Amino acid sequence: MALLLKSDATRLTLWYDAFHAQAPELEVRTYPELGRREDIEYALLWQPPPGLLATLPNLKVVFSVGAGIDHLLRDPELPRHLPLVRMVEDGLTAGMSEYVVMSVLLHHRFMIDYRLQQQAGKWEEIQQIAADQRTVAVLGMGEMGQDALKKLGVFGFKRLGWSRTPKELPGVECFHGAEGLKALLPRAEILVCLLPLTDGTRGLLNADLFSRLPRGAALINAGRGGHQDETALLAALDSGQLSGASLDVYQQEPGAAGGPLWKHPRIIATPHVAAMTMAPTAVASVVANIRRFEAGQPMQNVVDLSRQY
Ligand code: NAP
Ligand code: GLV
């Protein structure tokens, strides 16, 4: 039984060691060393080259290294009859909540303004706002969104959440659908995007959406670059409609580095690292699913391809 692994090169050893410790019976082959393609029954991949999966005749299950599966759906030859399992593991969720809490606090406490003051040699106080007077809205109330919303609750922020279907989460005012978004946006002083990239969410963070936010709102996008209209985002920052943005994802990755978003004084840019899949906990999740599959039991976190997430 062989599993094909494609992750970024710097983390291959971590994955390899975790599989060796938790499932020594599994032969792990690391892309591009495929060996005999007929032996590969499972694949755990991040951004595989289009067409690769279709060349594996005995593949049984496709696992995504990431929570998002848009990188797999881009493959026109994706074997859509096979189960596709997205990554849900505690390390990834915890990492995202750290990023969201860090970024929300940074905008809440005017750190972009203070950093600009520091660079200009200025000393000026900005009136602090109590957390319970600040509204944070999270787009996407899945694994990532719900955990981030819970952890933001510790600070006492007013919390709003938006999803496709109705949700309930203690202490969070929940909205869904197009009408829900319209109602949420005028209240969202700090807007966090944790949505998957689908036909329903692509380009959502656009000029119209920015114009509906309170003036001076901040944007945090750790969903996907495909959610944001980057020209509109720069215009909203330059006009003061947005006071700042924390971006982890871009239309062009890694092409955004060195471009206008990267250089903008009111953007805090990170290179798609808001949350990293942690090999030990991720391998536990993949191995548990392989064992379920081998035992003829239903796997967890199987993607509904008709929803695209
Ligand atoms: P998830 O559990 O599948 O949750 C997705 C959420 O988005 C759900 O609440 C869903 O609504 C909502 N949603 C989907 N389509 C929508 C629409 N058209 N309108 C309104 N809400 C919609 O996904 P997750 O595990 O939280 O991950 C979310 C995304 O985070 C991933 O897909 C990936 O793009 C991104 N991510 C980024 C990083 C990074 O490092 N930057 C790391 C991990 C994940 P329902 O609840 O109604 O289904
Ligand atoms: C990372 O972007 C992920 O989808 O997990």
Q: Is the pLDDT of residue 157 over 90?
A: yes
d(CA 139, CA 192): 6
* 68 and 98 together in one domain: no
Q: Residue 30: inside a domain, yes or no?
A: yes
Strands (E), the chain: 2-6, 27-30, 40-45, 61-64, 84-85, 135-139, 158-163, 172-176, 190-193, 217-221, 242-247, 267-269
pLDDT at residue number 22: 97
Block residue for tokens 């600040």: 134
| Percentage of the chain exceeding pLDDT 70 | 100
118 — pLDDT class (breaks 50, 70, 90): very high
How many domains, in total, are found in the chain?
2
Looking at residue 298, the DSSP 8-state letter turns out to be: P
pLDDT of residue 196: 98
- The SS3 call for residue 43 is strand
User: Which pLDDT score, from 0 to 100, does residue 8 have?
Assistant: 87
Same domain, residue pair 115 and 139: yes
The CA angle 98-63-176, to the nearest 5 degrees, is 55
Q: Give the pLDDT confidence of 27-54 residue by residue, as tens digits.
A: 999 999 999 999 999 999 999 999 999 9
Retrieve residue 109's tokens.
Answer: 């406490």
Instruction: Say whether both 204 and 231 belong to one domain.
Output: yes
Task: State which amino acid sits at residue 22.
Answer: Q
Sequence-distant contacts of 209-214: CB under 8 A, at least 24 apart: 209/185, 210/236, 210/241, 210/242, 211/236, 211/241, 212/182, 212/185, 212/186, 213/185, 213/186, 213/188, 213/189, 213/241, 213/242, 214/186, 214/187, 214/188, 214/189
Could you tell me the residue range of the domain that residue 24 belongs to?
Answer: 2-89+277-294
253, 269, 285 — which closes off a domain? Answer: 269
Buried b (16+ CB within 10 A) or exposed e, 226-251: bbbbbebbbebbeeebbbbbbbbbbb
pLDDT band at 2 (very low <50, low <70, confident <90, very high): very high
Q: What is the mean pLDDT of residues 212-234?
A: 98
Report the pLDDT value the prediction gives residue 9, as an integer from 0 to 100.
84
Within-domain flag for 168? yes
* Ligand 1 site residues, Cβ closer than 6 angstroms: 66-68, 92, 96, 140-145, 162-165, 194-198, 200-201, 222-224, 248-249, 272, 274-275, 309
Same domain for 73 and 143? no
In a domain, 146, yes or no: yes
Q: What is the pLDDT of residues 75-106, one digit of tens each?
A: 999 999 999 999 999 999 999 999 999 999 99
In this structure, the answer to whether residues 112 and 194 fall within a common structural domain is yes
Q: Are residues 98 and 169 in the same domain?
A: yes
- The tokens describing 3, both together, are 């599993």
Nearest to 155 by CA among 178, 179, 131: 131
Q: Are residues 101 and 68 in the same domain?
A: no
In this structure, the strands spanning 217-221 and 190-193 are: parallel
Ligand 1 atom index nearest CA of 144: 26
d(CA 196, CA 112): 27
Q: What is the CATH number of the domain that holds 235?
A: 3.40.50.720
Average pLDDT score over residue span 198-227: 98
What phi, psi does 143 have (nearest 5°)? -55, -50
Residue 303 covered by a domain = no
Q: How much is the mean pLDDT over the chain?
A: 98
Last residue of a domain, one of 269, 285, 304: 269
> Per residue in 264-287, pLDDT tens?
999 999 999 999 999 999 999 999
pLDDT at 10 over 90: no
Expressed in angstroms and rounded, the spacing between residue 142 Cα and the centre of ligand 1 is: 6
CA distance 291 to 85: 14
What mean pLDDT do residues 133-158 have?
98
First vs last Cα of the chain: how many Å apart?
28
304 in any annotated domain: no
Are residue 253 and residue 179 in the same domain, yes or no? yes
Q: Is 224 a catalytic residue?
A: yes
Section 189-203 average pLDDT: 98
In a domain, 302, yes or no: no
Taking a C-beta distance cutoff of 8 angstroms, is the pair 29, 35 a contact? yes
CA distance 87 to 172: 25
Query: Could you tell me if residue 31 is inside a domain?
Result: yes
260 and 117, same structural domain?
yes
pLDDT at 305 over 90: yes
* Edge-to-edge strand ranges of the sheet holding 61-64: 27-30, 2-6, 40-45, 61-64, 84-85
162 belongs to a structural domain: yes
Measured over the CA atoms of residue 45, residue 150, residue 106 and residue 243, the dihedral's sign is: positive
**How much distance in Å is there from the Cα of 74 to the middle of ligand 2?**
15
Atom of ligand 1 nearest to the CA of 194: 30
- Tell whether 113 and 233 lie within a shared domain: yes
One domain for residues 160 and 103: yes
> Ligand 1 center to residue 220 CA distance, Å?
14
Which amino acid is it at 208?
D
Same domain, 50 and 134: no
